[in-house]
Amino acid sequence: MTHTGPVAEHREIVVVGGGAMGSAAAWQLAGRGRQVTLLERFGARHTMGASHGRSRNFNITYEKPAYAVLLHEAARLWRELEHDSGTPLLELVGIVNHGAGVRPDLADVLGALGFQASMLAPEEANERWAGIRFDTRVLFSPDGGRLDADEAVVALQSEAVRHGGEVLLQTPVVEVRPRSDDRVEVVTDDTTYLAETVVVTAGAWTERLLGPSAVALPPMVVTEEQPAHFAVLDPTFDWPGWNHMPAPDEARYDYWHAPAYGTLTPGEGVKAGWHAAGPACDPDARTFAPEPVQLAALQRYAREWLPGVDAEAAAPISCTYTSTVDTDFVLDRIGPLVVGAGFSGHGFKFVPSVGRILADLATHNSRPESRFSARW
């Protein structure tokens, strides 16, 4: 169905999708003095997408130089956003990796990429972080930590407005129409915006909104991921963020659905989950109910590997991943359209850097990097 509404006054740049990535793009663009309007389907602090909740791991254990460069930039930009907004967002509680995938050389690899890292014996790690059970050597980096996702989105949008940007919540976009004159119509229920450039950061709704006629995106799968918060038994324990890798040929990991991850969410408990193991879903038809087999396995994981929590006191969470085949992001410009998508469950730590990249693409300040190309 084609929607037509009255054409509003001209907009230089419209950002469609006000989760973390779109809000970061609007923040960057407004800070550069560009005329930007951010349109978000839902209200503030909604739970329908991938940017809600109070905790995300700021995991720095990447071996690909392209991501390491973005991590360094992101750490600086997170601090800039904290300073400007007056909102604490990044707490460096550290990141620990353990399990079968932790190679002895990883500390040196991270060190060469500019991060502090060291290898710890399991006994040392168990003494330091009594809430987690370790039985292999542990990669520890004090440069990692925890981000407050909810407050980050609020801060990004507030700073965008402070710099002159326009943020319109509860404004669903029903169609994005590129025109022959190299401009784009963005159609809402009651208004059509005419923009020179449109940045689409619609998360799980990206492919549905754009369709094959606008942009040929690489394949992406939307899944409903189902971590849970577990009650903390001893409030004096220190909790780093963690990643835990199974060995595929060991029977004790047979019940695992994927690598495990977790962090403390202050005031809510310890969040733990399987990474990218959720069922494919329609983002408009989620039940938000936990898949019972995965939840039971996660509770077993908590009983066996998290002695600092009550495995029976689990509060399930629902969020979406939109994943590419290789888990690389899609950050590209095609004509007047800029697309940020496919963050594959590991994008939040990069939010301010992604905002910068999308703003550069929207203002022709850079060319797309081949790693993040929409062309496949």
Long-range residue pairs from 285-288, CB within 8 A, at least 24 positions apart, any chain: 286/224, 286/318, 286/320, 288/318
* pLDDT given at position 374: 81
Cβ–Cβ under 8 Å, residues 90 and 146: yes
* pLDDT given at position 243: 98
Out of 96-100, 239-243, 247-251, 302-306, pick the least confident: 247-251
Integer Cα distance of 372 and 165 in angstroms: 27
* pLDDT given at position 11: 95
Q: At residue 3, does pLDDT exceed 60?
A: no
Secondary structure class of 30 (helix, strand, coil): helix
* pLDDT given at position 213: 62
> Average pLDDT in the 124-136 region?
97
The answer for residues whose C-beta is within 8 angstroms of residue 86's C-beta and 6 or more apart is: none
Element (H, E) at 248: none
Q: At residue 157, does pLDDT exceed 60?
A: yes
* pLDDT given at position 212: 73
pTM (predicted TM-score): 0.96
Q: At residue 7, does pLDDT exceed 70?
A: no
List, for residues 304-353, the tens digit of each pLDDT value: 999 999 999 999 999 999 999 999 999 999 999 999 999 999 999 999 99
Question: If pLDDT is split at 50, 70 and 90, which confidence band does 281 have?
Answer: very high
* pLDDT given at position 8: 66
* pLDDT given at position 216: 82
Percentage of the chain lying above the pLDDT 90 cut: 91
